[in-house]
Amino acid sequence: MDPDFEEAAEPQQLFSISLLARIHAVPVRLMHAWSVPDYMDAWLTSPHGEGVRLRAGKSTEAGFSIDFTQWGRSVRSVIGQFANVNTSGVRVAWELCTATGSSITSLKIEFKPRGTETLVLLRHDGFRDPDESIWHQALWQSSMARMQFLIR
């Protein structure tokens, strides 16, 4: 190999998730459901039967951490930092930590009022691993279904 020539690294493909849900609630109620860790704990569910333990920071601005456990051991953890919280949506820097490493992704939730209902548009961007993208797709689908059931 020629020492004067460096091979350019191929850009890594990133994976994204998009979901849409219709929830019977006004945006301010959904803003609290997505940004207050005690409320998040009520609807956030693990897609594969793992346990979920959510801990809040000192305030909602400080963020939260979530441990997904299996047989009492943490299998993946998330550290979330709120970048924006208002009645039009929530943005979170989502740091996923697993045994193989960590990565930071971007979670964006938008609220679109439609009478007594609100359309919730979820976009989660920046997954480097397709398996983590698939796991999060299942996480958000099961969690949004639980939220729809709980918020009536």
- Least confident range from 24-28, 84-88, 99-103, 109-113: namely 99-103
Query: Is residue 1 a part of any domain in this protein?
Result: no
Query: Is residue 6 a part of any domain in this protein?
Result: no
Q: Residue 150 CB: number of other CB atoms within 10 A?
A: 13
Model pLDDT, residue 120: 97
Query: Is residue 121 a part of any domain in this protein?
Result: yes
Distance of CA 62 to the CA centre of its chain: 16
Strands 15-23 and 51-56: unpaired
Query: Is residue 142 a part of any domain in this protein?
Result: yes
Q: Which domain holds residue 122?
A: 15-150
Q: Say if residue 78 is exposed, middle or buried (CB neighbours under 10 Å; 0-12, 13-18, 19+).
A: buried
Model pLDDT, residue 37: 82
- CA-nearest of 124, 75, 81 to 100 is 75
CA–CA distance, 137 with 120 (Å, rounded to integer): 15
The string of pLDDT tens digits covering residues 20-64 is: 999 999 999 999 999 888 888 889 888 776 677 766 654 445 678
The string of pLDDT tens digits covering residues 69-83 is: 877 777 788 889 998
* Number of structural domains found in the chain: 1
Cα separation values, 64 from 5, 25, 40, 113, 115, Å: 45, 24, 10, 27, 31
The string of pLDDT tens digits covering residues 128-149 is: 889 889 999 999 999 999 999 9
Query: Is residue 81 a part of any domain in this protein?
Result: yes
Strands 73-86 and 101-114: unpaired
Query: Is residue 5 a part of any domain in this protein?
Result: no
Model pLDDT, residue 1: 53
- CATH number for the domain spanning 96: value is 3.30.530.20
Residue with tokens 């890594």: 12
Query: Is residue 99 a part of any domain in this protein?
Result: yes
Model pLDDT, residue 54: 64
Query: Is residue 24 a part of any domain in this protein?
Result: yes
